[in-house]
Amino acid sequence: MQGVPSTGQNWRHSSGRIYTVLMLTNTDGTNDRYPISVVYQQVESRPVWSRPLSDWHRSFTLTVPANQTSERQIEMARHALGLPNERGISYRNNYIAIEGSAEWATWLGMVRIGHAIARTIDLGSVSFWLTESGARAALMPGEALHHDDFPEIVPGVKQ
C-alpha cells in the first residue's frame, strides 16, 4: 500500500489517466455513513471526482514519490519563472491560481515538499512563489535564475 493520498499528489488510475488529489473530506471519521473520501481531478479534461479512501488503492497508484517533483509541477514552475526564453534566465517568480483548481492543487503539492510558498491575495486567489530549491528543480541545462527573482540567493548566480 502506498499510503494516504495528499493534496497536490498525482495518481495514475488503472485506465492510465492521471489525476491530481484536491482534498480529503469527512476526515473526522466519526460517522460511518460518511467515510473519508478523496476528491480528485483529471489532469487532462478537468472533471472532478470523489471516491471513498477505502476504495482508493484498488484503482490508483502514485505517479511519483511524495518528495519528488512531478512533470506537471516542473511545467508550472517553468511557467512561473518565464522559461523557456531566449536568454535562458528567469525573469519572474510568481503564479496565481484559483483555490480548488487543478493548478492550485499542483502548487500545494510543491508547497508541501518545500518547493514553493503561498499567500492568499484575495477571496479565492492564491499567489505562489518558488523557493530556490523548487526553482532549481525546474531548470534545464544551461538555464539560470535571475538574482532579482530570488534575493536570498548568494552572489554568483548568472545574471
pLDDT tens digits for range 133-158: 889 889 998 999 998 887 654 344 44
Q: Please compute the mean of the pLDDT values over residues 96-125 and round it to a whole number.
A: 86
**Entry field: residues in the chain:** 159
As beta bridge partners, residue 24 has: 38
Instruction: Evaluate if pTM is beyond 0.85.
Output: no
Whether 5 shows a pLDDT value over 80: the answer reads yes
Tell which residue, 63, 50, 73, has the closest CA to residue 13.
63
Q: Look-up: residue for cell 528543480?
A: 137
d(CA 136, CA 115) in angstroms, rounded, equals 9
pLDDT tens digits for range 49-74: 999 999 999 999 887 665 667 788 88
At residue 95, the 3 state secondary structure works out as: strand
Q: What is the mean pLDDT of the chain?
A: 84
Query: What confidence score (pLDDT) does residue 91 get?
Result: 95
Tell which residue, 142, 145, 141, has the closest CA to residue 131.
145
